[in-house]
A and B are shown apart, each in its own frame.
Chain A
């Protein structure tokens, strides 16, 4: 229970964040009604993927890295295959790239729908879980039922294209082990059309929610193509004018170790060293809100028209609007899936032959939670000599801490359970995947005695 030891200071602590993927905690230290410190502590053990992959064949990377996450294995597979194909000089034809985009649409639907309906929506209605929300009224129960059906359709896409719904097995460097037939994909279309209508209803529903009033000067980052809504490839852009190729990513973004977390933090490389008092310098946000803010101009007409009629205006700097961006991306994913299937011609062969060689390649794709960077170095025989993986939750950590820092003054006079819930609500805007970042989450608010000065 949070308590004020004096009239001016306290500590708020959540030891285990709920409704996030992985294990973590956070601590907010308040002194003299000032936020003294904020820490997002990820204590899930590091898994050392980058180290133990050295000496493995590069062709194993898609299946090995997919095990980093049970929610977004497709993202890991896609970043891995693209990076290795660059290292090997493999050009993948458009039909295979379209099939990859279809597989990714399935993962976006699965992941986004799960988060919106079962993890985040209960926050907006003040329920502790989707179970409590579903029991509250017939209307909310119908919403949960709709969400479950929508998610199932995403699973079906991943199963048909990827071979199975979780940790798909059909992806390989150069393409797919087996390309699905036109009939196999066509069998999904009726459900996808229902899902597209359900996604429109979902966008209207979440846009009507009561959003907390919160904003900041965010730097949003994502990949961008000027021709379509980027998922698999594009330049890295931010709303502050940065536009670079994915090959330049590490020149502009860097990871750093912090003593209280097993996950690395990412920040933008700034032209000048930040002042010692600006620990959040270079923080940025990746994920659906960043993508929709920066890329909605190239989204399909249908999705843009639906957005135009919503009571939420984009671009927005309110992170609680992320649930709306997520809903619009679900609509986009259904729409894209139908388009890809209607245009589909089964690629034959289903993969491009290649020879292993010494090389280096990096690639960024848009995981449901944001940019996922993979970089591989190979030797002459195709064995990995160096691996770098930067998942989206690592990139969002510093930005999450800044959101907590900004929201903390509102928590001072709240009872502990309310303070914890408000803070977790804000964190869930990012749908953090801590298992990815270490390759779960807890709130701790410390209320210190009044300072001596």
Chain B
């Protein structure tokens, strides 16, 4: 069984505009996550590859531009990623999918790779977590807590973590 202390949580993005959604959520997670979890922020997915180790579950948090219905936060288990959701412009087309495929071909990917997509852009899913009377900071905190709660469940029973998109918040 996977223990909490092996988890590596990585926020992908930049400080610019909506691209900072993954960073904001991971910063919030860092404030209350178990001490054994490591959190970090990365800008370019390709730089993730050189730092991967197959023995640590990897959790990636990224902004997703493609509208995702019903929930501001969705979970995907690699290798199932929606084609368009992470289609954010990246240098030399080295996007998240490319980086993870390359890491896979180098046998660097852990058995459990979860990608949490924070919906940005377009019409946000209207849920209790993101109702318009809440501040962005409140929303980030809520999404971070939803993510950690869901992640704990996945780590406790990784084999049962089904693939495919799973709405995490807004249920």
Contact = CB atoms under 8 A, between A and B. Distances in A.
Interface of A: 18-21, 70-71, 114, 118-119, 129-131, 134-135, 141, 144-145, 148-149, 151-152, 155, 165-166, 440
Contact of A149 (B14, B43, B50): B50
A134 B106 CA distance: 7
Contact of A131 (B14, B43, B92, B102): B102
Q: Is the contact region of chain B dominated by helix, strand, or loop, or is it mixed?
A: helix
Given A118-B94, A165-B43, A144 B50 contact: no
A141 B94 contact: no
B49 interface: yes
Given A130-B102, A134-B105, A148-B49, A71 B91 contact: yes
A144 B93 contact: no
Given A114-B46, A118-B94, A131-B105, 15 more contacts: A70-B44, A118-B92, A118-B102, A119-B92, A129-B98, A130-B102, A131-B102, A134-B105, A134-B106, A141-B105, A148-B50, A151-B47, A152-B51, A166-B43, A440-B93
A20 B92 contact: yes
A67 to B, nearest CB: 9
A152 B92 contact: no
A443 to B, nearest CB: 16
A131 B101 contact: yes
A71 B44 CA distance: 11
A149 B93 CA distance: 20
Contacts of B93: 18-19, 440
B44 A21 contact: no
B102 A165 contact: no
Size range of the chain B interface in the assembly = 10 to 19
Given A18-B93, A118-B94, A135 B50 contact: no
Interface string B41-73: 001101101110000000000000000000000
A10 to B, nearest CB: 28
Contacts of A155: 47
Interface string B11-49: 000100000000000000000000000000001101101
Nearest to B90: A70
Contacts, number: 48
A18 B93 CA distance: 8
Contacts of B92: 19-21, 71, 114, 118-119
A192 to B, nearest CB: 15
A213 B93 CA distance: 29
Contacts of A114: 46, 92
Contact of B91 (A70, A144, A165): A70
Nearest to B42: A165
Nearest to A67: B16
11 contacts: A20-B92, A114-B92, A129-B98, A130-B102, A131-B101, A131-B105, A134-B102, A148-B49, A155-B47, A165-B43, A165-B47
A144 B102 CA distance: 9
A253 to B, nearest CB: 27
A2 to B, nearest CB: 24
A144 B106 contact: yes
Interface string B93-105: 1100010011001
Contacts of A70: 44, 91
A180 B50 CA distance: 25
Contacts of B14: 166
A151 B91 contact: no
B106 A145 contact: yes
Contacts of A19: 92-93
Enumerate the 6 nearest inter-chain pairs by beta-carbon distance, A residue then B residue, closest first.
A148-B50, A152-B50, A134-B105, A135-B105, A166-B43, A70-B91
Contacts of A21: 91-92
Nearest to B91: A70
A342 B170 CA distance: 56
B26 to A, nearest CB: 16
A155 B49 CA distance: 13
A131 B98 CA distance: 8
**Max chain B CB contacts within 10 Å: which of A144, A145, A148?**
A148
A130 B93 CA distance: 12
Nearest to A142: B106
A129 B98 CA distance: 10
A134 B103 CA distance: 10
Contacts of B98: 129, 131
A20 B92 CA distance: 5
Nearest to B49: A148
A285 to B, nearest CB: 21
Contacts of B102: 118, 130-131, 134, 144
A152 B108 CA distance: 16
A71 B46 CA distance: 12
Contacts of B51: 152
Contacts of B47: 151-152, 155, 165
A156 B14 CA distance: 18
Nearest to B101: A131
Contact of A141 (B43, B49, B101, B106): B106
